[in-house]
Every structure is written in C-alpha cells, then in structure tokens.
C-alpha cells in the first residue's frame, strides 16, 4: 500500500507541476501579446467638410486634364508635371470630372481605415456632384469608377528618390436593385498623402461650374503659398489642354484667371506681353501663412 500511495503522489505531483508550467506559459504569452504593438491602420488625413484633400502630384501635373478628349496609354507614359515629380500613367486618361468624383470618394473614405468598404447610393453621389440622375448619368458614373480602377498612376518624388504606383480605386460592387455601391481603396493610398497634399476649398471649386481649366488652376495655385510665375505654354502643358493654338489657350486662360478672382481664390494675375509669364498673387491659407512666417524668419 505504501508503494501505491507513493506512486499516486508522484503522478499527482507531476501533474501539478505540468499544470503550473502551462499556466505560466499562458500568462507569459498573454503578457507578450499585450505588450506587442497593435498593427497600424492606415487612414487618410481627417480634413474638414468644407475642403477636399488632393495629393500635390495630382494637381501639379496633367494627370487630371482639362480636356474632354481621352487618350489611351498602352504603356507607362510620362505626363507633364512641375519639377520635383515624374508622373507616369497607363490606361485611359483622366480629366477634371474624374477628379471631382475621386475627391468625393476620398472624402467618404477618410472617415475609416483604408481597405474598409465605403458605401453610398449612386443617386446621392450624383446629386453631390451636381449632376443629373438619369440613366445616362448612372452609366457615366459606372464608367468613371471603372476608369479609376483601370488606370495605373506612378509617381516618383525625384528628391526623395521614391516612387509609388497604384490604381486610384481598388474595386466596386453595385446592387442594381437598390442602386448602392460599395467601393474600396488600397491601404497603400495613404502614401500619396504622406508626402504632400493640398486642401481644396470646395465652395470655390463648385462655384467654377464646368470650367475645367479654372478648376485645374484653382487646385494648382492652391498648392503654392507663393506661386511661381509660369509661361502660358507651361500652364497649357500642365493642364493637359488639347487646344491647338497657344493664342486660343491664352484667351481661355485669361477668362479662367478672371473667374478665380471672382470666386476669391486669387487676388490678381498678370500675363507679361514680352515673356508670356503668368504671375498670380495668391490668397494663402492659414497653414500656408504659418509656413510663410517661418520662411521669413532670419
């Protein structure tokens, strides 16, 4: 009997030690998990409702042109842009109406982590864009969404020697009974906003109506606290204009700049008759004023 009790005691002791070891391991594992940093959820910046955030590479290039004539690029093609960026594109070209749509979609997407589904009704989205809600407008919306999915944008920041390539929209699902869409953005989209972006005054952009040239100029000049003088030809290239004669573009440019003054986007503008340089006196935003005050300090 003594031997039997000793064996039972040995077995019980071994079991107790094993249970204690399991508990210690479990506690250590839980502690390690608690200490481990949570995976960072990538999101867009949280800008106010009165503005729309747009990466500077988009509005300092011809990526979203002012032309209603579309081109198809079968391979990566360099798009006109200012110094500091090299912008390449593959797919069916974008224009300002595509940018209007992308602005609305990213405005919705900023409320949650990228990669999360963004849901909306086609009717409400079209109304927000100031468009009609007929069958044609619904078909155009589907066409635009597909174009944003199919076009690949590659941006190289020349000073940083870094590049980004991605479609501006990952996917969409549509319910034809309810007219509701679910779209998704790649989490990598946040990289476009990590470098530099501009907050565009929505009221001013809407006030420009269908003047795509004025919209493009509004965005481009808003991205500069102190805009550089550009030649008329340079602006024509950066806007992606398909106007054949420079003189005709210059006429459109004058009208667009005058409209920017009317909506309060810029103070004034001039075009030098000898150099053809366009000089604009901007109205800096609060953030730009802070930047300018730092620059002026000795």
- Determine which of 24-33, 168-177, 228-237, 275-284 has the lowest per-residue pLDDT on average: 24-33
Position 114 scores a pLDDT of 87
Q: pLDDT digit string (tens) for 263-273? A: 999 999 999 99
Q: Is 81 helix (H, G, I), strand (E, B) or coil?
A: strand
Read off the pLDDT of each residue in 54-82 and give the average, rounded to a whole number: 96
- Alpha carbon dihedral 128, 132, 136, 138, in 10-degree steps, equals 30
**Model pTM?**
0.82
Alpha carbon distance 223, 202 (integer Å): 14
Task: Reply yes or no on whether the pLDDT at 253 is more than 70.
Answer: yes
Beta carbons within 8 Å of 276's beta carbon, 6+ residues apart: 231, 232, 233
Position 294 scores a pLDDT of 46
Position 6 scores a pLDDT of 61
Alpha carbon distance 93, 63 (integer Å): 8
Identify the CA nearest to 175 among candidates 144, 150, 142.
Answer: 142
Position 31 scores a pLDDT of 58
Q: pLDDT digit string (tens) for 122-141? A: 999 999 999 999 999 999 99
Q: pLDDT digit string (tens) for 141-161? A: 999 999 999 999 999 999 999
Alpha carbon distance 169, 125 (integer Å): 16
Task: Reply yes or no on whether the pLDDT at 216 is more than 90.
Answer: yes
Q: Count CB neighbours of 56 within 10 A.
A: 24
Read off the pLDDT of each residue in 203-229 and give the average, rounded to a whole number: 95
- State in Å, rounded, how far the first CA of the chain is from the last one: 95
C-alpha separations of 158 from 197, 207, 234, 239, 261 in Å: 16, 35, 19, 21, 33
Average pLDDT, the chain: 88
């Amino acid at each position: 009997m003594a031997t039997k009790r000793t064996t039972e005691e040995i077995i019980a002791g071994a079991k107790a030690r094993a249970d204690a070891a399991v508990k210690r391991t479990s506690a250590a594992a839980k502690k390690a998990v608690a200490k481990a940093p949570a995976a960072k959820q990538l999101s867009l910046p949280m800008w106010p409702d009165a503005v729309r955030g747009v990466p500077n590479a988009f509005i300092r290039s011809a990526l979203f042109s002012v032309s209603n004539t579309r081109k198809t690029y079968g391979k990566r093609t360099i798009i006109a842009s200012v110094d500091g960026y090299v912008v390449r594109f593959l797919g069916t070209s974008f224009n300002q109406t595509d940018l209007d749509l992308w602005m609305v979609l990213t405005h919705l997407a900023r409320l949650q982590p990228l990669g999360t589904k963004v849901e909306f009704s086609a009717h409400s989205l079209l109304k927000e864009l100031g468009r009609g809600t007929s069958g044609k407008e619904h078909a155009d919306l589907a066409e635009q969404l597909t174009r944003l999915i199919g076009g690949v944008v590659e941006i190289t920041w020349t000073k940083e020697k870094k590049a980004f390539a991605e479609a501006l929209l990952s996917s969409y699902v549509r319910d034809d009974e309810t007219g509701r869409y679910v779209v998704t953005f790649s989490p990598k989209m946040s990289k476009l906003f990590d470098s530099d972006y501009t907050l565009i005054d929505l009221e001013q952009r809407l006030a420009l109506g269908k003047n795509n040239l004025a919209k493009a100029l509004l965005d481009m000049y808003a991205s500069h606290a102190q805009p550089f003088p550009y030649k008329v030809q340079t602006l024509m290239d950066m806007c992606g204009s398909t106007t054949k004669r420079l003189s005709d573009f210059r006429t459109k440019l004058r009208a667009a700049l005058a409209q920017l003054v009317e909506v309060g986007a810029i103070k004034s503008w001039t075009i030098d008759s000898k150099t053809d340089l366009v000089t604009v006196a901007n109205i800096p935003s609060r953030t730009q004023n802070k930047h300018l005050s730092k620059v002026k300090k000795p």
